[in-house]
Chains A and B, each alone.
Chain A
C-alpha cells in the first residue's frame, strides 16, 4: 500500500491549546510585565515575557544629565532598593575617579543599604503572600516594620523611597545620635518580628503545599542563565559579592551568607530571604557599634561635580542579585556612556524555564519567588 493510507497515530482527543495574556494590567504581575502563556487546560506549556512597557531610557539619560542630576534619577531604576543603585553608580564613578571614600561614609553606606535590603525583602514577603492568595491578613505585617525603616530613611535622606543618599565620594548627610539610637532599637526588636512572620507563614500547611517542590531551579540551569542573588543562593551557588568579591567594609563585618545545599524550590527562595534579613540585621548592629567618627564625603557635593576621564566597572550585591554599573567618563560633568547590569533582567530570563508544566495558579507563585522589579528589568 502507498504511504497515503498510513494511519495518524496521534491521540485524537487532544484539546486545543489556549493562548492567554497575563498582564500588563493583570493585578498580580507586579508592575507591567506581559506574559503570553500557552495553556494546555490549566498547565502552562510555553511562556513568552514581553518587556519594555516601563522603558525610561535610563542609560541614555545618564549621558544627558550631569553626574549630580543623574544621581537623583538612578534611585528610580530599582525603586525598592534605591540605595544599591546609587551605591553601584557611586562605586563605579569612584573607581573611575580614584577618589577616596572616608571610612565613616563606608559604614553609613553599609548600614543604609542593609536597611534597604530589609525593606526590600519585607515588601517582597508581603506581596509574595498576596501572590499566593493571602489577600488580606499577613501581608500587612511586614509593612508595619517596613514603615519604621522608611521613617528612618525619611529622617536621614529626606525621602522614603528615592533616597539619593549615597553620593559619589561618600554619603549625603551625617545621621544624628537620635537616629542611631532609633535604629539600634529597631535592630533589637526586629528578630522577634521575623519570628512572628515565620510563626504565621513557615509552618502554614497551605503555604507549604503551595511552595514546596514548585518551580525547582536547578543549580546548573541557574548558572547558565546568570541568575544572581538569593534566588541562586537558594539553589546552592555561593555567590554573594559581599563575600566573594568583597567591597567597602564588608570584610571587617561578621555575617553568614546562607547558601542552600540542593536545588531550591519556591519555599527555599522564601526561607533564604528570611535568613538574609536576619543577617542584614546583624550587620546593621555591628555597624552601629563600629561606626567611626570623621568625614562623610571624599568629594565636594556640588552641582558641577566631575569625574576624571577613564572607564571602570563596579558591582554591589543588591537584594535581587549582582547590580553592576559600567561607566566611561571623558572628564566632563556628565558621563560619556553608562551601562547597567540589572539583576532583575537576568533573573527574569529564567521564568519561561521555571513555569514550564506548572499550572496557571503557580505562575504567580513562581514569578513572585524570583523577586523581579519591573523598572529594574526595563530601565
Chain B
C-alpha cells in the first residue's frame, strides 16, 4: 500500500462530501416536505391545505434539484482523486482544505467564462442542445427516487407502475442533445462526434434494455419499487445472485441459524434439508420428477436452473454495465468525444455555462445508470447482510441504539430510520459502481468506431438474447420472486 495515505485522504474526503450532500438534500426535503406542511396544518383553511399539499408534491423535484449539482460536483472531485491514486499522482489538493473545494472553484470559473456561440452556428439549436442533454437526467431518474428512499411517503408520488420503462425512455433522450450540439456547432469534428454518438447509442441501447428486461422478467414487474422490495433481506435475495433463485437457500439458512424459540420448534419439525427441498421443487420441476417417477429429478432440475439463472443474471449485469458505459460515453466507449481524434467531439465549441451543463449532465448520467444498476441488481437500499446473520452479529441492538441516538430527530420527523439506512446503503453501493467506472477509465484504451459497432452488434446483442431466452426457461424450474 504505497498510496495508503492518499487512499485515506480520499476516504475522508468522500465521507465529508457525503455529509454535505446528505445534509443539504435532507434539510431541503425536511423544510419543504415536513416542516412547512406541519406549520400550515395549524391553520384551518383551504389555502393552507393546498399550499401544504403543493409543498409535499414538490419535495421530490426539490430534492433532485438540490442533489444533482452538489453530487455532480463531488463526483468530479471523486473521479479526479480516484484516478490520481490509480496513476501514482496526487490529484487536485490545493483549493480549500486538501482540495475539497476544487470543483466548486471550477464551477464558479465555468459560470464566469465567456459564453461563445461560434460563427455560423445555429444559435437556437446550439443553446437548446445542453438543455436537451441535461433535462432527462433530472426527470428520468424520478421513479428511482421512490425506490432508493425505501418508498418514503413523500416520494411515493414519483413512482410509476412502469417505472423502468420510463427511466429507459428518458435516458435515451440525451443522445438527441448530443446530435443537436454536434450539428449546430458548425464544426466538422463536432458533427462527427454527434453522429458517432447517435450510432453508438442505438447499438448499445439494445443489450442494455434486454439485460434489464431479463431482470423485469424475473421480477414480474416493471415497477422499480416492486423490484427493489422483492430483493429485501440480504445479499442472497439480490437479483445479481440469480434473481431470487437463492431465496429458498436464504430461508433455509434463516431457519437453521435463528435462535428464537418458535423457529427452533419449527426447525425440529422441519429439517434444514426439507426446507431446501420444498424451496427447490417448483411445480414445473416437480412435474418433471413425476413423469420420471423420481423425486430427486425435481431437485436436480431445480439446481441446474439455479446455476443457469445465476450465470445468466451475472452476464446480464455485465451487459448492463457495458451498455451503460457506452450510453454515457465513458472510456472505453467515449468515441463521441474521442480526444485524440475529434479534439473534444460534440462539445468542442462549447464554453462557459453551456459546457458546464454538458459536464454536469455527463456525471449525473453516470450516477443515474449506477443507481439503476443498484436498484435492479443490488437490492436498492437493502442491507447486504441477511437478517439471520445480522441477528447473530447484533444487528437489532445496533439499530435500536441508533434509533435511541436519533430519537429527538425522529420525534420531529426529521429522520425516518428505514429511509436513512436505505439512503446510506444506496449511496455506498452507487459510489462503489462509480468507483468501478473510474477504475475502468484508468485502465482501458478506447475502441475504434467500427470495432465498437462489431462488438455491439455481433457480440453483445446475441449474448443478451441468449441470456433472455435461457432465463425464460430456467425460471420455470425454480421459485423466483414471482412465485414466492
Q: What are the residues of chain B within 8 A of A133 when measuring CB–CB?
A: 331-332, 334, 338-340, 445-447
Task: Decide yes or no whether B473 CB sits under 8 A from chain A.
Answer: no
Task: Give a binary string over A128-142; 1 marks a CB under 8 Å from any B CB, 0 the rest.
Answer: 011111111111110
Within 8 A of B (CB), among A322-371: 359-364
**Interface 9-residue window, one of A104-112, A205-213, A306-314:** A205-213
Known contacts being A133-B331, A359-B449, is A364 close to B444, with CB within 8 Å? no
**Bound form: Cα–Cα A90–B77 in Å:** 50
CB distance from A141 to the nearest CB of B (A): 7
CB distance from B455 to the nearest CB of A (A): 9
**Bound form: Cα–Cα A136–B339 in Å:** 12
Q: What are the residues of chain A within 8 A of B89 when measuring CB–CB?
A: 140
The size of the chain B interface, using a CB distance under 8 A, is: 29
A137 B334 Cβ-Cβ under 8 A = no
Known contacts being A18-B188, A27-B340, A28-B340, is A137 close to B86, with CB within 8 Å? yes
CB distance from B40 to the nearest CB of A (A): 51
The size of the chain A interface, using a CB distance under 8 A, is: 32
Task: Decide yes or no whether B87 CB sits under 8 A from chain A.
Answer: yes
**Bound form: Cα–Cα A26–B89 in Å:** 26
Q: What are the residues of chain A within 8 A of B448 when measuring CB–CB?
A: 209-210, 359, 361-362
**Bound form: Cα–Cα A60–B9 in Å:** 54
Task: Decide yes or no whether B411 CB sits under 8 A from chain A.
Answer: no
Cβ contact of A136, chosen from B87, B189, B343, cutoff 8 A:
B87
CB distance from B266 to the nearest CB of A (A): 52
A132 B446 Cβ-Cβ under 8 A = yes
**Bound form: Cα–Cα A130–B442 in Å:** 11
Q: What are the residues of chain A within 8 A of B256 when measuring CB–CB?
A: none
Q: Name which residue of chain B comes closest to A368, CB basis.
A: B340
Task: Decide yes or no whether B229 CB sits under 8 A from chain A.
Answer: no
Q: What are the residues of chain B within 8 A of A129 when measuring CB–CB?
A: 445
Within 8 A of A (CB), among B186-228: 188-189, 192
Q: What are the residues of chain B within 8 A of A18 when measuring CB–CB?
A: 188
Q: What are the residues of chain B within 8 A of A364 when measuring CB–CB?
A: 340-341
CB distance from A265 to the nearest CB of B (A): 14
B449 A206 Cβ-Cβ under 8 A = no
Task: Decide yes or no whether A20 CB sits under 8 A from chain B.
Answer: yes
**Bound form: Cα–Cα A26–B86 in Å:** 27
Cβ contact of B451, chosen from A26, A42, A200, A209, cutoff 8 A:
A209
Q: What are the residues of chain B within 8 A of A206 when measuring CB–CB?
A: 332, 444-447
Task: Decide yes or no whether B88 CB sits under 8 A from chain A.
Answer: yes
Q: What are the residues of chain B within 8 A of A136 when measuring CB–CB?
A: 83, 86-87, 331, 441-442
B445 A207 Cβ-Cβ under 8 A = yes
Q: What are the residues of chain B within 8 A of A141 when measuring CB–CB?
A: 87-88
Cβ contact of A361, chosen from B83, B338, B441, cutoff 8 A:
B338
Q: Name which residue of chain A comes closest to B448, CB basis.
A: A361
Cβ contact of A134, chosen from B343, B344, B445, cutoff 8 A:
B445
Task: Decide yes or no whether B44 CB sits under 8 A from chain A.
Answer: no
Q: What are the residues of chain B within 8 A of A27 when measuring CB–CB?
A: 339-340, 343-344
A363 B341 Cβ-Cβ under 8 A = yes
Could you count the A-B residue pairs with CB atoms below 8 Å apart for me: how many are there?
90
CB distance from A203 to the nearest CB of B (A): 12
B443 A138 Cβ-Cβ under 8 A = yes
**Bound form: Cα–Cα A27–B345 in Å:** 12
Task: Decide yes or no whether A204 CB sits under 8 A from chain B.
Answer: yes
Task: Decide yes or no whether A185 CB sits under 8 A from chain B.
Answer: no
**Bound form: Cα–Cα A133–B188 in Å:** 20
B340 A137 Cβ-Cβ under 8 A = no
Q: What are the residues of chain B within 8 A of A138 when measuring CB–CB?
A: 87, 442-443
Q: What are the residues of chain A within 8 A of B46 when measuring CB–CB?
A: none
Q: Name which residue of chain A comes closest to B439, CB basis.
A: A137
Task: Decide yes or no whether A245 CB sits under 8 A from chain B.
Answer: no
**Bound form: Cα–Cα A364–B444 in Å:** 17
B450 A135 Cβ-Cβ under 8 A = no
**Bound form: Cα–Cα A141–B87 in Å:** 7
Within 8 A of A (CB), among B429-473: 441-451
Q: Name which residue of chain A comes closest to B339, CB basis.
A: A27
CB distance from A135 to the nearest CB of B (A): 6
Q: What are the residues of chain B within 8 A of A135 when measuring CB–CB?
A: 331, 339, 441
A360 B341 Cβ-Cβ under 8 A = yes
CB distance from A363 to the nearest CB of B (A): 7
CB distance from B264 to the nearest CB of A (A): 54
B86 A134 Cβ-Cβ under 8 A = no
Q: What are the residues of chain A within 8 A of B341 when measuring CB–CB?
A: 28, 360-361, 363-364
**Bound form: Cα–Cα A210–B340 in Å:** 13
**Bound form: Cα–Cα A204–B446 in Å:** 11
* Most chain A beta-carbon contacts within 10 A, residue among B340, B447, B451: B340
Within 8 A of B (CB), among A234-267: none
CB distance from B200 to the nearest CB of A (A): 13
**Bound form: Cα–Cα A20–B86 in Å:** 36
**Bound form: Cα–Cα A209–B332 in Å:** 13
Known contacts being A209-B451, A361-B338, is A134 close to B446, with CB within 8 Å? yes
Within 8 A of B (CB), among A1-54: 18, 20, 26-28, 42
Task: Decide yes or no whether A56 CB sits under 8 A from chain B.
Answer: no
**Bound form: Cα–Cα A31–B88 in Å:** 26
A132 B445 Cβ-Cβ under 8 A = yes
Cβ contacts A to B, 14 pairs, < 8 Å: A18-B188, A20-B189, A26-B343, A27-B340, A28-B341, A134-B443, A136-B441, A137-B83, A137-B444, A138-B443, A204-B444, A359-B448, A361-B338, A362-B448
8 new A-B contacts, CB < 8 A, other than A141-B87, A210-B446, are: A134-B443, A135-B331, A137-B83, A138-B87, A204-B445, A206-B332, A207-B445, A362-B448
Interface residues of chain B, those whose CB is within 8 Å of chain A, are 83, 86-89, 188-189, 192, 331-332, 334-335, 338-341, 343-344, 441-451
Interface residues of chain A, those whose CB is within 8 Å of chain B, are 18, 20, 26-28, 42, 129-141, 144, 200, 204, 206-207, 209-210, 359-364
